[in-house]
Amino acid sequence: MKILFDTSVLIAAFVETHPKHKEALVFLTRAKEKEFELFVSAHTILEVYSVLTSAPFKPPITPEIAERLIENNIREIAKIIYLTDKDYFNIIKKMSESNLKGGIVYDAIIMECALNNNVDEITTLNSKDFLRLVGNNLIKINTA
């Protein structure tokens, strides 16, 4: 099974004080134990770094710790998915045709990665936008 994690699940898994930490950590542990093939979009890696280093976590997460978390929990276990320039223009076209605007475009990047790689499931803490994007596709949206 191929499962793509979005940013929200990774942040929750990495931050012990996050309200959904235990639930998200279960998914990350299962990925590390190779119960499924973990996919992460390249965009998500940068978003995770941004959130980890700028959110008001207690204690704060330094850039060095953020890098280590990403290396150990994404780079070492996940298949990183990249989009082409054509993919980005396809996303804009889909967004325009669906009359979607604003920040949902970032979830659309993740959805496009999932579609391009025949992912079975997207695991997220923000299922609302992904459910709007999935349409008739057979990708399951799972809430951690």
Q: Which single residue is written with the structure tokens 């996303």?
A: 91
Q: What percent of the chain has pLDDT over 90?
A: 88
Domains in the chain with CATH codes? 2-143 (3.40.50.1010)
Determine the Cα–Cα distance for residues 118 and 115; give it in Å rounded to an integer. 5
Label residue 36 exposed, middle or buried (CB < 10 Å: 0-12, 13-18, 19+): middle
Q: How high is the pLDDT of residue 42?
A: 97
Which DSSP string do the residues of 8-47 spell out, in sequence order?
Answer: HHHHHHH-TTSTTHHHHHHHHHHHHTTSSEEEEEHHHHHH
Is pLDDT of 3 > 90?
A: yes
Q: What is the mean pLDDT of the chain?
A: 95
pLDDT in tens, 129-141: 888 888 777 899 9
Of residues 72 and 138, which shows the higher confidence score? 72
